[in-house]
Chains A and B, each alone.
Chain A
Amino acid sequence: MAKKRKPSSQTSFWRALSAVVWKDISAEWRSREMFSAMLIFSLLVAFIFNFSLDLNPKTQREITAGMLWVTFAFAGTLGLNRSMAIEKDRGCLDGLLLAPVDRSAIYFGKVIGNLVFMFSVEAIVLPLFSIFYNVNLFNPGLLLVILLGSVGYVVVGTLIATMTVQTRTRDVLLPILLFPVVLPVIASAVRASTFFLQGQAMDLIWPNINLLIAFDVIYIALAYMVFDYVVEE
């Protein structure tokens, strides 16, 4: 650092975190590699669903939420893989780890960066799904579920992607390691989303939302505790 001033540990945490986020966003803004890949992939998944399930309006209403989450989960692995691979390939991760900042700042920086990409893909997929499948997906409840579900997904995903990029079979390994672990998040998110889309009573929906919040908190705490060991060299 150029300045000799020693920042308090809290400000340096936030500065490190925002630096990591900013770096990810500006790099992605210039290349748009990850975003375009995730987006095109999501659309292709939507098309494949349409032809493989031969949807009629009645079944469609019941499974739209499921399709949406499958799309997000699959597209998410593309983004997560890419996001950690660019750190690893050019030795950026080592550089980041050499920086005299708290490791959790790096982790949460990556999480927020990945969340931003996830949300931007979702922001485009949602209206397109609404058009293709003729359902209004701009339901505030559904948006809340998507927010909570994406947080849970990205929190676990970033942790596991950090490990899998350091293995021999990394692209293959991420979904295999991630999906069984992230299943509780996806399962409750799908159920809450379906209930919202069907306009069910809130007392049916709340338990699922509460579960989602609990899972998010548990996974954030867990990732915070073990991330130091993931990057320890």
Chain B
Amino acid sequence: MKPTPIVLKVLNWISLVLLAIATYLTIYWAPQEVTMGNVQRVFYFHVATGWVGMIGFLLAVFSGIMYLRTSDMKWDIIGLAGIEIGLVFSLVNIVTGAIWARPIWNTWWTWDPRLVTAAIMELVYIAYIMLRQGIEEPERRARFGAIYAIVGFVSVPLSFLSIRIWRTIHPVVIGSGDAAAEGTFDMTAGMQTAFFFSLATFTVFGITLLWHRIRLGRLQDTIEKAKMEVMS
């Protein structure tokens, strides 16, 4: 077995330190938002985790296309890693959103297009994991996984479109939002620092986890092949 690459070990420590600093920045250092108070601090990790989740799913659909074109198992491992990472981070994104929404919107959950789309995306990729578990043959598992990752990824923006016809109340802090949005605010300089720092932190953290997951996938693959050799 190959030892953990040195760069990955360094990344582990960098992620840990960055996460500690980001936590400090968002909880103590960033200025308090005037109307919403401390609960607004959820925003920094909320957006950062959502961002990493999206990257994971994007990576998965890219790997899916690459797998169908090349039939190289490498892409299957990367795709699965992307989806697993994406699932975890999106879940954090949804939960932090709910924590914020309770005092601001006065409800944990509302059937807003963005919320529904995020939940649907989560369900699509949970279904992906279940599909994989139902197939034993590695080649078919990879192929069906790739196809479902692509179909699922196409369906997510369509879900958003189909629900978007109703008005949204989700705030858009970066870029222009709907006038009906509730809980919008303008970021001050201190907030921006904390925000971009969190974004960078979670990107590094996401990449580190992804690397670990891909490495794990490779090791699993090696074991599976070794088992096959022993059995035959």
Interface residues of A (CB under 8 A from B): 156, 159-160, 163-164, 166-170, 173, 176-177, 180-185, 187-188, 191, 207-208, 211, 215, 218, 222, 226, 229-230, 232
Contact = CB atoms under 8 A, between A and B. Distances in A.
A173 B132 CA distance: 11
Given A163-B147, A170-B134, A222-B154, 6 more contacts: A160-B151, A167-B135, A183-B155, A184-B158, A207-B165, A218-B158
Q: Which 8 A-B pairs have the closest CB atoms?
A: A167-B134, A184-B158, A184-B162, A181-B155, A180-B123, A187-B162, A180-B124, A168-B134
Nearest to B140: A166
B147 A211 contact: no
A177 to B, nearest CB: 5
Contacts, number: 83
A173 B120 contact: no
The winner among A173, A184, A188 for most chain B CB atoms within 10 A is: A184
B21 interface: no
Given A180-B127, A229-B143, A166 B163 contact: no
Interface string B59-103: 000000000100000000000000000000000000000000000
A187 B159 contact: yes
B161 A184 contact: yes
Interface string B96-129: 0000000000000000000000001001100100
A115 B19 CA distance: 53
B165 A191 contact: yes
B181 interface: no
Contact of B144 (A163, A169, A218): A163
Contacts of A208: 165
B165 A168 contact: no
Interface residues of B, number: 28
A183 B68 contact: no
A170 to B, nearest CB: 7
A183 B162 contact: yes
B140 to A, nearest CB: 7
Contacts of A176: 127, 130
Contacts of B161: 184, 211
13 contacts: A163-B144, A166-B144, A167-B134, A173-B134, A176-B130, A177-B127, A177-B148, A180-B152, A183-B120, A184-B155, A187-B163, A188-B162, A230-B143
Nearest to B124: A180
B219 interface: no
B41 to A, nearest CB: 32
B186 interface: no
